[in-house]
Structure 1
Amino acid sequence: MKLHDYITGHLGRPFEWGKHDCVLFAVGWLEQTTGRDFLGPYKPWGSAIEAARKVAKAGGLDLLFDQQLAPINPHRAVDGDLAIIRGTAYLFSGAHVVSVGEEGLVFKDRLEAAYAWSHQIQKEEA
């Protein structure tokens, strides 16, 4: 599957904690391309509070990504790489980063990303 097909497949899909939220959208792309379950021990969640607790248990979203993916300079990110902007997980796509928000897909300028991780370089499982 190509990234644009993945993103397009989420158009019009309603936001739902634990089924269609920012983290599952971003990590879902990784799982689609690698076949690897990146969030297994932290799923499921059904609310913002549950999601926040599980992310906190992991040490934060950035630490969770650091443990499994290679951090990169956001200016060198390519399509499909992950970013976090103000606590929300995004995917790089062209001149933008895209995520899932309560009103649908959210697009921001890619220059807003201060942190990024490569979708192509996964760290070995411990």
Structure 2
Amino acid sequence: MPMIERLPDWEQRLHDYVASLEGSSFRWGELDCALFAAGAVLAQTGVDLAAAYRGRYTTARGSVRALRRLGAGTLEATIAAALPAVAPAFARRGDVVMSDGIAGVCLGPRAIFVGEVDGTPGWVTVERASWVNAWSVG
């Protein structure tokens, strides 16, 4: 697992990253849950955990193939191979979290996710009680 540390101005960088995506739409391989969470890590640390995945898929099936070929097999296992796990109750702002198989970013008591919910793509906030995994970003 690589040693990743947050930059001194990580909070502003995280804010700017999320704000820069306001109004953006879900797109496999461009702005899906995994690339959104990886983009938040990149903004906070300068380390792009998803560099090998960018531009490699455009569908849900393609994302699964990319995780099998380039990652640890699943999204959860791939994140776990890159970041140390923490209990969801101890996740802090900027950490990566997971709910219903979708990766998102902790913003305090809620996390923001980009994904498809009930077949509709978009931005979703999920309360901490629904998170099943969390990983520390530095």
Instruction: After the TM superposition, list the runs of 4 or more consecutive aligned residues in structure 1 that deviate by more than 6 angstroms.
Output: none
Select 2:68's aligned residue among 49, 56, 61. Answer: 56
Asked if 1:105 is matched to 2:105, the reply is no
Task: Give the gaps of 5 or more residues in structure 1.
Answer: 121-126
Contact 2:13–2:43, Cα closer than 8 Å, also in 1 = no
Contact 1:3–1:79, Cα closer than 8 Å, also in 2 = no
1:53-109 per-position Cα deviation (integer Å, ceiling 9, x unaligned): 212332211111111111001100100000111111110002211011354321011
Give the TM-score, by structure 2 length.
0.79
SS of the aligned residue for 1:97 comes to strand
Contact 2:96–2:103, Cα closer than 8 Å, also in 1 = yes
Asked if 1:65 is matched to 2:76, the reply is no
Identity of aligned residues (%): 32
Asked if 1:117 is matched to 2:138, the reply is no
- CA-based RMSD: 1.6
**Offset, 1:28:** 0.4
SS of the aligned residue for 1:104 comes to strand
Task: Give the gaps of 5 or more residues in structure 2.
Answer: 1-11
Asked if 1:22 is matched to 2:33, the reply is yes
**Offset, 1:6:** 2.1
Select 1:91's aligned residue among 92, 105, 120. Answer: 105
Q: Give, in whole Å, the separation in 2 of the partners of 1:71 and 1:116.
A: 6
**Offset, 1:5:** 2.7
Give the TM-score, by structure 1 length.
0.85
- Decide whether aligned partners of structure 1 residues 95 and 86 sit closer, same or farther in structure 2, where only a CA change above 3 A counts: same
Number of aligned residue pairs: give it: 120
